[in-house]
């Protein structure tokens, strides 16, 4: 049988294993081969064969994602292992998750070491249908024992972690295609549960606030835009660390820590960066408005317009020396 008589499906499978250089040669053999070399089916096959990626955004081209994955050889943005988790595979874990949602904190114990995980989060290791509740450490031990490529699900905050890639998947570091796939999985996981829906809402708020922090807090652009707001650094640090842990912030902004008790104004001893009383961060007006509306405020409102006097000369110098990205 001649090559040009082979059906397109088999030719796509063959071409999907070719190196990019050889694929170029394949495409100039004939018109049929050229169509196959530029088809979506071919690049889907090649993306999986070369990198193990089986997911993408609905409106994205497989070739575009392939090119993006070529710039990510160490899986920092596109995890190949999360693609093995599908809504179908997730079904038994979704059933277990729905059960755990209704448990009392005292019952959130690892089935291996019996440690209580009410604070840190009870986990599931998604691999070949094993649905035992584990703490993170026991899940990692199991991961090494079975030499699997499973995904850790931290149930209290709906975070997914890949031990092989050594990072959370679907979070701010990941590619948008990865984030879409993870969000789809979590939607299936929490479907039909009011408590699950509330957990997803908190997850979305957490992700939104992490992006707000990364874009609109302690950035050089905040200074260059003109007006900015001054926020107690200890509160901002606590808020961001909770977001990184998958949890939204707690408590009102504590700007009372920045006040001079004698004048009632912003203390002239306040300084940027420092994780101490009197240390502060800077945020845009839009982020300030969001934080106050969401968390509340204890103390005064301080802006760049409040530090123009001669008494704040050292403070302004400290801000000018602040190395911001």
- Axis-axis angle for helices 8-15, 40-51 (nearest 10): 40
* Prediction pTM value: 0.86
Residue 3 pLDDT class (50, 70, 90 cuts)? low
Count other C-beta atoms under 10 Å from residue 253's C-beta. Answer: 23
Taking only the tens place, the pLDDT of each residue in 80-121 is: 999 999 999 999 999 999 999 999 999 999 999 999 999 999
User: What pLDDT sits at residue 79?
Assistant: 95
Residues facing residue 125 across a β-bridge = 152
User: What pLDDT sits at residue 1?
Assistant: 53
CA-closest candidate to residue 217, choices 205, 202, 201, 232: 232
Taking only the tens place, the pLDDT of each residue in 171-211 is: 878 899 999 999 999 999 999 899 999 999 999 999 999 99
> Exposed/middle/buried for 135, CB within 10 Å: 0-12, 13-18, 19+?
buried
Q: What is the number of residues in the chain?
A: 325
């Amino acid at each position: 049988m001649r090559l040009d008589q082979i059906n397109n499906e088999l030719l796509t499978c063959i071409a999907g294993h070719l190196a990019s250089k050889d694929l170029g040669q394949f495409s100039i053999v004939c018109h049929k081969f050229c169509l196959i070399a530029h088809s979506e089916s071919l690049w889907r096959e090649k993306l999986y064969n070369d990198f193990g990626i089986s997911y993408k955004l609905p409106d994205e081209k497989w070739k575009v994602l392939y090119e993006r994955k070529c710039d990510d050889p160490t899986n920092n943005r596109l995890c190949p292992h999360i693609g093995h988790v599908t809504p179908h595979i997730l079904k038994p874990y979704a059933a277990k998750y729905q059960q755990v949602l209704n448990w009392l904190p005292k019952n959130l114990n690892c089935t291996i070491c019996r440690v209580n995980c009410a604070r840190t989060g009870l986990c599931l290791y998604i691999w070949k249908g094993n649905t035992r509740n584990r703490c993170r450490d026991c899940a990692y031990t199991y991961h090494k024992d079975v030499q699997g490529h499973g995904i850790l699900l931290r149930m209290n905050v709906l975070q997914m972690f890949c031990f092989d890639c050594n990072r959370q998947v679907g979070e701010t570091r990941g590619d948008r295609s990865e984030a879409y796939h993870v969000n789809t999985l979590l939607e299936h996981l929490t479907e039909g549960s009011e408590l699950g829906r509330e957990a997803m809402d908190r997850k979305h708020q957490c992700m939104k606030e992490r992006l707000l922090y990364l874009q609109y807090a302690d950035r050089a652009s905040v200074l260059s835009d003109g007006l900015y707001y001054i926020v107690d650094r200890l509160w901002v640090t606590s808020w961001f660390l909770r977001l990184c842990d998958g949890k939204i912030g707690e408590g009102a902004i504590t700007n009372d820590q920045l006040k001079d008790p004698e004048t009632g104004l912003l203390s002239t001893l306040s300084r940027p960066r420092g994780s101490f009383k009197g240390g502060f961060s800077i945020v845009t007006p839009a982020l300030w408005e969001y934080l106050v509306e969401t968390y509340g405020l204890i103390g005064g409102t301080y802006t760049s317009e409040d530090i123009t006097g001669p008494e704040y000369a050292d403070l302004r110098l400290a801000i000018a020396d602040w190395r911001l990205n």
